[in-house]
Chains A and B, each alone.
Chain A
């Protein structure tokens, strides 16, 4: 019996949200994630849940805030310019320690940019994004299957840490059709939410607030948040390695560039170059310790991103001078080809560049 369905990443994540028993979706259309609100407008009511197309991203994230206050599982989805608009609300949600899930199907920017894929919202996603000292739990799927599976994970982590989670993907992952195994059983944990503002019957009134005028109280809250983020750093780091054991050069990439890099590892290995790939799955918390261990082991790094260089800074921080970190990036909607990356790898092994492999079997396997 066929257990797999051919789905776009954007659609797979909607099914993942339903599997996560998401109570509400609030969104506003923006390419390349329009399939998400479209699909959710069918899936949510069909499952007895709420779908609202808000008048703006600003409103959508504040509806998420209200629904999260009510103790329910709420999410929103958008793409780069829309996620910028959500930042104020995200900062409030993080400050109030409310759980929710925000999806960013990134396009190229800055500004209105392009609807083609990008990864230039990395800083915004992992360094806070809005005002103040806060962090999101950031998960980066590289396949439609992971889009599906990361939704229950994102909701679970959000509830566990009372913190917003973000699914940070790019337009390729959102738009690509892939087989998705939907017969996975997720353990959905029901977290008690005694803090929810859902009517004070039989208890003192609950207040959800992020205004703390007294600096001691405000700093105390910041320290509490930082301790939570440190806890995530210990318990929630997720990453995948490919051929890193004996690698001299480790590529670091996430999302669709990581898939291209995996092919490049195979191509390089065929030519005798010892290359591997480390793919961070949680961009925050970042696999810094693991990268540092590799650096101390003498491995060098090549970071590949669809940006002008953002995650490379976290890799450099992780390496902390123990080894070399170099960067190759394309931006504004341009996607690096395997040949381009292979040539970057060849240069690091003192080999001359090769001409395009575009018609090769491996290239089309990407």
Chain B
């Protein structure tokens, strides 16, 4: 019998602890497949966030570092400057990257730091129980804006790709949505492009992945995909923002 589908070598045997239907799992798998296809597992150093992906160090087969909340771009900078021939990526949620770690991501991008950032935007703080994030949409209910995000009280959501695209440092910025087979292959292509950019020494790349949090959104996984496609992508349009 011919095996047609198996666990990518970029993953360890550890079972994921993500909620059912959560795209963190899918995105992990894509990164693992890319590492295997590019044959770079042994030369990659990952930097994980504080958030639902905090246990990522147990799942990835590459060398991996747990950073404190928001600081992954600086940790990745330290690694990359010491080991310029290794591939260094950070994986960060919206709370991690767009709130507590805003300074770090802006300046890593500004420096054109030769790292790849995978930014998981699920418009909420999944791990701590569904609080408001900088990316929470206007009107979206969370545990800390229970009657919906009101811009007069909570301010407006932040579009990270658009913001970073104003800088000269980044070489590649794209937003993707893996809510369909086509979206998934686009996501994979984007992350691969970000890794290839780094190998080619082109500097900072960021791939924003519109993701879900069925648990805290209180939706079925299917409905959460619909919500990404209908609501989220309206405010956070997918597409390439920088590629040079």
Interface residues of B: mostly helix, strand, loop or mixed?
helix
* A92 CB within 8 Å of chain B: yes
Which residues of the partner chain A approach B75 to less than 8 Å between Cβ atoms? 62-63, 65-66, 69
B63-93 toward A: CB 8 Å interface, digit per residue (1/0)?
Answer: 1111110010011111111110010000000
Query: Closest CB of chain B to A208's CB: distance in Å?
Result: 5
* A235 CB within 8 Å of chain B: no
- How many residues on B have C-beta within 8 angstroms of the other chain's C-beta atoms? 36
Say yes or no: A58-B71 contact (C-beta < 8 A), given A197-B79, A199-B63, A209-B57: yes
- Give bound CA distance, A54 to B111, whole Å: 10
Stretch at the interface among B40-48, B185-193, B199-207: B40-48
In A17-65, the 8 Å CB interface with B consists of: 23-24, 26, 50, 52, 54-56, 58-60, 62-65
Which residues of the partner chain B approach A199 to less than 8 Å between Cβ atoms? 42-45, 62-63, 83, 86
* B28 CB within 8 Å of chain A: no
Other-chain residue from A23, A59, A71, A209 in contact with B71 (beta carbon distance below 8 A): A59
Which residues of the partner chain A approach B77 to less than 8 Å between Cβ atoms? 52, 59, 63, 66
* B52 CB within 8 Å of chain A: no
* A311 CB within 8 Å of chain B: no
Say yes or no: A207-B57 contact (C-beta < 8 A), given A50-B82, A54-B74: yes
Say yes or no: A62-B67 contact (C-beta < 8 A), given A72-B82, A74-B78: yes
* B167 CB within 8 Å of chain A: no
* B242 CB within 8 Å of chain A: no
Chain A interface extent, by class: 35 or more
Other-chain residue from B54, B74, B106 in contact with A63 (beta carbon distance below 8 A): B74
Which residues of the partner chain B approach A52 to less than 8 Å between Cβ atoms? 77, 81
* B12, B57, B63, B71: residue with the most chain A Cβ atoms closer than 10 Å: B63
New contact pairs (16) apart from A62-B74, A205-B12, CB-CB < 8 Å: A24-B82, A54-B74, A59-B74, A65-B74, A66-B75, A66-B80, A70-B78, A72-B82, A197-B63, A198-B86, A199-B63, A200-B41, A200-B42, A205-B62, A209-B65, A211-B55
